[in-house]
Amino acid sequence: MSGKGLAVRRQRAARAGGPVRVLALHGLAASAATWRDLGEHVADEVELWTAELPWGVGGPTEWSHGGDPAEWIGRALAAVPGGTDVLVAHSFSAVLAVEHLARVPHAGRPRALVAVSPFHRRDPADFHWDDAGHYLGIFQEVFEEALGLAQVRWLSPDVRRDMALLVRDRVGPYGWTRFWESCLRSPFVDVGALDLPVLVVAGEHDRFARPQEAALLAAALPQGRLELLPDCGHFPMTERPRPFADAVRRLVDACAAAPSAVPTRAS
């Protein structure tokens, strides 16, 4: 199912039992290809859906010019026929997913959330001028790291840097500003209202979304749990695909074992 700036597709049918519908959302300037490894390693009962979001690498740049980007999370959830059981969201999309789900009625929520490499602060005073400079300075490096993990043929560091610059420039200052705004809003999100199982996954060596922020988010959630993956950076689903899929599997199994009082969204 698709709309302007959004395309939701079934990537893999359930191979046994279920189905448990899992919707996976990529981060800023990424794509549904982010979840290729998850599709190979996820549990047999999972029906995997992915979305191409407006802030994807091939999406329209106009998404960043106005409106509330968190609303796209709801649109993606609504596009899965039969409803989403487990939402998996990475980086920028993880921040928006927490924000969106904390403010919508129970009927609009999945049964569980996996927030991967989220940005989060608990107090507005935790933000400083140096933070904006830090994120602005490493913005290009995020894309370089992603390209290094995703490349199907060897690229020299210079070529990879040039490609990352092209991605950065496509996101542009408006896209970066929307990312920064979502971070600045995080202390004001009522995470206490997000009373569903939330698995927060972080890489031990993530330089972009610090694992300390993931730990703060998990601790503040009523049913939050932190999974810290060693020898891993900002892209756990690509860097450590098997441990990542195992963590998702444990959440799926827990949801299947415990009937939810929260109804699944009707299509």
Would you list the DSSP string of 66-115?
SS-TTHHHHHHHHTSTT--SEEEEETHHHHHHHHHHHHS-GGGS-SEEEE
How distant is the alpha carbon of residue 130 from its chain centre?
A: 25
- Interval 206-250: pLDDT, tens: 999 999 999 999 999 999 999 999 999 999 999 999 999 999 999
User: CATH for 2-257, among 3.30.70.270, 3.40.50.2000, 3.40.50.300, 3.40.50.1820?
Assistant: 3.40.50.1820
3-class DSSP state of 222: coil
Nearest-angstrom CA–CA distance, 141 and 100: 28
- Averaged over 42-69, what is the pLDDT? 93
Tell me the pairing of strands 86-90 and 2-3. Answer: unpaired
pTM over 0.75: yes
Give the rounded percent of residues in the chain with a pLDDT score beyond 70. Answer: 94
Nearest-angstrom CA–CA distance, 127 and 125: 5
Domain boundaries, the chain: 2-257
- Interval 72-93: pLDDT, tens: 999 999 999 999 999 999 999 9
Answer yes or no: is pLDDT of 264 > 80: no
Q: Which two tokens stand for residue 246?
A: 């195992």
Residue 152: its pLDDT value, please? 54
Going by C-alpha positions, the residue among 206, 52, 238, 197 that lies closest to residue 141 is: 206
Nearest-angstrom CA–CA distance, 48 and 227: 21
Q: Which two tokens stand for residue 153?
A: 């043929």
Beta-bridge mates of residue 228? 202
Q: Which residue has the tokens 């939050």?
A: 224
Q: Measured between alpha carbons, how far apart are the two ends of the chain, in Å?
A: 12
Q: How far is CA 215 from CA 58, 97, 155, 224, 226, in A?
A: 32, 17, 35, 9, 6
Nearest-angstrom CA–CA distance, 237 and 1: 24
- Interval 145-196: pLDDT, tens: 988 887 656 778 888 899 999 999 999 999 999 999 999 999 999 999 999 9
Q: Which two tokens stand for residue 89?
A: 């969201």
